[in-house]
Chain A
Amino acid sequence: MLPALLATIPDPKAREAAETLLAEAAAARSRGDLRTTVDLLQAAVDRVPSVETHAALGGLYLEMGVTSAADVHLRAAAMGDADNADRWIALANALARKPDPGAAAEALERAHATEPSLHIGRDARGWLARGGDASS
């Protein structure tokens, strides 16, 4: 089953739990506690496997260089929110770092399919991103 957007999850307690865990994870990261950040995001996915929780955990895995796990979670987020180009761009970043340029290009095609006028470049840290420079 594909993950749902938090806003569409009918159980208000599940939504609240996910939002709380995501906020606690962000706070842990801002105080430099990477291990707690990972643990909280993993707990969020386990408790409420939504688009947002998968995206947050996958994004962190990507920065940590754990590209296989990043691929799994960012793909789940993209599949669950398939009309959102940013989900596909995030997945493309994970695939590009594996590196699998063909699969990354396919993810970028999905991003373009949702927003035909979308321009994708690279941001200052080298990630594929909306706008950015001219290389895509």
Chain B
Amino acid sequence: MRVQTRVPSGWLGLALGLVTVFAPQASAQCPPGAGCTEYLGKGSKGSYFRILVPDPWDGDLVIVNHGLELDPLTIAPHNTCKSDPDTPCSSDTDCAAVPPRSCNKITLLGLDGFLLPSGKAVAASTFSQTSWSAFQSRYDLKDIIKFMRKKGPGRPKRIVVTGISGGGAVTVDATMHLKPGKLIHGAIPLCSCSGGGLPSMDGATDVRLVYDWVCDGVPGGTFSSLPDVGDPTMSQIDFAVTANTCLGLLAPSADPVEAAAQRARRETLFALTKFPGTATDFVTVIGFAILAMGDFVDDPERLNGRRLGWNEGLDYTSVLDSSAAQAFNDAVPRFGPGKGRRKMSRSTYVDFTRGVAKRVDYPLLSFSGREDFICLPEFQKMYADAAALGEKKHAMIWGSTGGHCSFTPQELRSVFEAYFAWLDTFDTAVPSEPTTADVLARCLSLPGATSSQCNFDTAFTAPPLAHRFPARADWPEAARNPLP
């Protein structure tokens, strides 16, 4: 195995710079023999990217999008110390003298392990924005493609975009905005927050409103920020301490009376939000609603402080079946459509019946867990319905492991192999559109695979998003009026 690394000379200040430096690496899964070449570069909006091209290369490029990231220090070159991009590293120990003592890696999520040996190039970007990066992630992806064409091995024959969690949202956005047949030829959203901007943020706001109602008046347990604005200045530790004070999620009170109150609040909150996960899972979700939302609402380049929410006139009892639903509905603060909604809609709106997305002519394959607690199955149904309304070919694969993005390498490999079999036959008389059962069978047939490595649910169907969160009038059609 051999990997050559090519990075631009003086690249830190240059966009799409030259490639001159060669260095051996050993981590990528390159084909035996000729190996592969690694290209490192910087995008026009400040992102950094990494491309691995195997030899021989079949001409396909898979762009792999990472999940939501709050740390701006991760927008840095591959294999350099966070906070000091001039210091190269291969592991954290190389950054022992550079706080936060962490070597920045541009992850390929392990997909290189089976894509490179099959002759496909893989690439990943840091994106140029933290948190909800779909405002301009499409430009970051275009920079990779431009680099391939101008500085790399040449224009890819096919470009397949994939990504996990928030990177799935980036993937969904790519299907909305990248020109089919030129910049994108396929897409595989993985445990994706597929609802686009408004449904995702309204769902997060509703969870936050429930938290605020349940924790109202608990000393040290409330957040001062507006529920549809969040707080970009709050540290993750302060946030977790506050949530724990109200709910006792991580360290319940030693006072038995207060511990019982924390438990009661927790139970009310979980019932009202129909939350399927654990205490730590809930910390993640409410963290998105406060920290991640605050990051992009506050950003002058994104919403510049403009409010995002809208719940005026909504009847929460229509979606909540808890005994506390009426009391919550009566007490919840109401606000009209925030001024940030228009930009959010323009930036990320899931609709295959108009714009560039109307011209999508390639298959879409989604893979998600039936118990995902953050990128909910309801969001997958919405994306599937949007594809159906636009008469696009979309297939949904359901995993059965609990949690968010809990995939094994075998599951991911079988999903990708099924997708490429579909893509390769898409224009034939007999396209090989996969089902969950097909992918399960493919997974079990992988060398050495066991049933514990192939966890799929062949019978699951997702409920509509509007059964979980009250629909807003400016949501995409697929979210407001789900298909039967």
Contacts and interface: CB of A to CB of B under 8 A. Distances in A.
A and B bind:
yes
Given A37-B251, A101-B408, A65 B287 contact: yes
A103 interface: yes
B240 A65 contact: yes
Contacts of A31: 253-254
A117 interface: no
What are the nearest 4 A-B pairs in CB distance?
A102-B110, A99-B405, A31-B254, A64-B240
Nearest to A67: B284
A35 B237 contact: yes
Contacts of B417: none
Contacts of A60: 250
Contacts of A20: none
A102 B112 CA distance: 9
A102 B405 contact: no
Contact of A100 (B66, B101, B245, B451): B66
Given A100-B110, A125-B280, A135-B401, 13 more contacts: A65-B240, A69-B100, A79-B93, A96-B403, A99-B165, A99-B405, A99-B406, A100-B66, A100-B109, A102-B113, A105-B110, A122-B402, A126-B402
A36 B314 CA distance: 41
A35 B66 CA distance: 30
Contacts of B108: 102
20 contacts: A30-B251, A32-B253, A32-B254, A34-B251, A63-B250, A72-B100, A79-B93, A97-B284, A99-B404, A101-B164, A101-B407, A102-B108, A102-B110, A102-B409, A102-B412, A105-B409, A125-B278, A126-B278, A126-B281, A136-B452
Contacts of A106: 110
Contacts of B74: 68
Interface of A: 1-2, 29-35, 37-38, 60, 62-66, 68-69, 71-72, 75-76, 79, 96-103, 105-106, 121-122, 125-126, 134-136
Contact residues of B: prevailing secondary structure: loop
Contacts of A37: 251
Nearest to B400: A135
Greatest chain A CB density within 10 A among B71, B251, B284, B405 is at B251
B196 to A, nearest CB: 20
Interface in B212-254: 236-237, 240-241, 244-245, 248, 250-254
B54 interface: no
B102 A102 contact: no
B145 interface: no
Nearest to B277: A126
Given A31-B254, A64-B240, A96-B406, A1 B93 contact: yes
B412 A101 contact: yes
Contacts of B408: 101, 105, 136
B455 interface: yes
Interface residues of B, number: 60
Contacts of B102: 68, 71-72
A63 B252 CA distance: 13
A88 to B, nearest CB: 15
A125 B277 CA distance: 9
B464 to A, nearest CB: 25
A118 to B, nearest CB: 13
B400 to A, nearest CB: 8
B319 interface: no
A65 B236 contact: yes
B191 interface: yes
Nearest to B371: A126
Contacts of A96: 403, 405-406
A76 B92 contact: yes
Interface in B68-108: 69-71, 74, 91-93, 96, 100-102, 107-108
B171 to A, nearest CB: 14
Interface in B331-357: none
Contacts of A33: 251
A19 B111 CA distance: 41
Contacts of A62: 280
B251 A29 contact: yes
A121 to B, nearest CB: 8
B116 to A, nearest CB: 12
A101 B408 CA distance: 7
A36 to B, nearest CB: 10
A1 B96 contact: yes
A2 B109 CA distance: 25
B251 A66 contact: no
B452 A99 contact: no
Contacts of A63: 250, 280, 283
B461 interface: no
Of B255, B259, B280, B453, chain A has the most CB atoms within 10 Å of the CB of B280
B107 A100 contact: yes
Contacts of B451: 134
A120 to B, nearest CB: 9
Contacts of B17: none
Nearest to B282: A65
A98 B126 CA distance: 14
A22 B405 CA distance: 32
Nearest to B67: A99
B251 A32 contact: yes
A68 B455 CA distance: 27
A84 to B, nearest CB: 18
Nearest to A76: B92
Contacts of B67: 98-100
